[in-house]
Structure 1
Amino acid sequence: MRPQTTLRRLAEMKAARDPIVMVTAYDYPTARIAERAEVDMVLVGDSGAQVVLGHDSTVSVTVDEMLVLAAAVRRGVRSAFVVCDVPFGSTEVSDEQAVATAVRFVKGAGADAVKLEGGGAQRLSRIRAIVAAGIPVVGHVGLTPQTAVALGGMRAQGRTTESADRFVREALAVQEAGASAIVIEAVPAEVVDVVLPQLHVPVIGIGAGPADGQVLVLHDLLGITEGKTAVFVKRFAAVGDAMLAGVTAYAAEVRSGAFPAAEHGYPASADAIAAAAAAAAAAAALEPGQIAD
């Protein structure tokens, strides 16, 4: 069994320039796949709102829904470091609300850390409060899907002077607030490279160049996601096509009568068949509403 991945281990990997592998998972089977693939970090992402629960955006998912997903993932992971996204609306009211939400993910789902998006003054206050409560926080800057509307939509950040300036300031502020690691999403690698020397915590990129490691949505990299994916997604398998082909073949055989065949059933003794026939005959001889002795 692999040793447990800890914050100290992640820091050591950064120092040694060993790339950190992070992937999302949303249930026990996907958690087992991530664990067996020996990834370093597993993110129970609020992207599960879309790829698992069928919501239109990450904003719709609730704490209770995320806790169910996170607990299932925790049961499937033994060595990877488990990070859980906290849903939109579960930390915005106050520092106290943020701490209470983070505690639920640690106590109720076994999270090793929680992830918060954004680097504005309010978010920095939330990070400090959660860290002060003894819970590790992973920051998330650049494109922040939960508040993408305020950023002009789901588009790359750091491509204008204003956006690049904001990104650098937020990344450094999130680190200063106590984040143990930072996810940077959809920012040009050249812009990320400018601030990387000043980021002393592990930096996980997604559409942000090499950084210290990478994260992708499992359903995207396996080819399960329907429709167009982000430019930073690479498809490493065609699992969705294989699943569709399998279910289509199953449906065709059921409709044609080819499935199930004799080999898909269980044998019965002559005595068992005779007993079943006798019971059926007795039941048929009863008057309506009469109960057999």
Structure 2
Amino acid sequence: MNRRDLLAAAIAVGGPWARHAQAQETARTVTLLHGFAPGGPADGVARLVAGPLGAALHQTVVVDPRPGAGGNIAAAALSRAHPDGSVIGLVTGGHAVTAAFGRNQNYEPIDDFEPVSQLVRYAFVLVVRADNPAQDLTTALRAAGASRNGWQFGSAGNGTTQHLAGELLNSMAGLQMVHVPYRGDAASITAVLTGEIPLAITAANVAIPMRQGGQVRLLATTGQRRSVGLPDVPTVSEAALPGYDAATWAGLLAPRGTPQAVVARLNAAAIAAVQDGDVRARLADLVDGEVVGGTPEAMRELMAREIARWRALIRDRRIVLE
């Protein structure tokens, strides 16, 4: 019996669940939404994963960037998509940050989705200009506290994970560094180079080439463990503030109501995709982080935990978005 005959037999005896399998078999294209600009880290992750994910599903996966509103446009579209596995979405840690701020959302950040799997986890880096007198993070924090006018730190924008990474630094170090938002990581690190601000918290893949060119110094990374690509750069926790962790992540979601059999199929395909040796290496290099597969339940727990911790920081620091 061939594959089509097996599917027909399953439909005859399997009822609605089997009909969902038929829909998956028939719909040859899966749309992978994300809410960020083409060429950025999230877009890179989506495009790296799309091919092997499609191969595991025996379908074509097409990446559809819908940037804007901190990822809200894409997340809202995903929440309204037909729950049959034909539309899925890639979200980052910014999904939890947006939810923690509770801004401009017409969807529930957890309940309107079916988690599929986490894909990657990665950290940001704290960057100063190469000629900054601060040779390490401890010295930089001391200088920031002693400065008459106070230090400023730049991020990729208001309400980003980079922004909250800086506010967590303020909170744990007892500082009052002023946040300066920019339009993306490249703009914030350019502001460091021009002397507009002394410190930026930015994506590693933006900072590493400038470090290699001798333009910047990397004081620390924001995750729990040292970066594979930056083994000589300590974490903030190691260097000055034990327990500090402001890593981010990316993972896959499906619309609420997607049948569990379809979610399980998507999860298995995602795990297969990131277990491919070449894909793992390219993903890890792209984000300068680690590849993390996982269960839908683990993804749901991650989102809930991240929303809760950032919401607590926003409340305690009284952070208001302008």
Q: Quick one: higher RCO (CA 8 Å, sep 6+), 1 or 2? A: 2
Q: TM-score, normalised by structure 2?
A: 0.26
Going by fraction, where is strand more abundant, 1 or 2? 2
Higher CA-based Rg: 1
Q: TM-score, normalised by structure 1?
A: 0.28
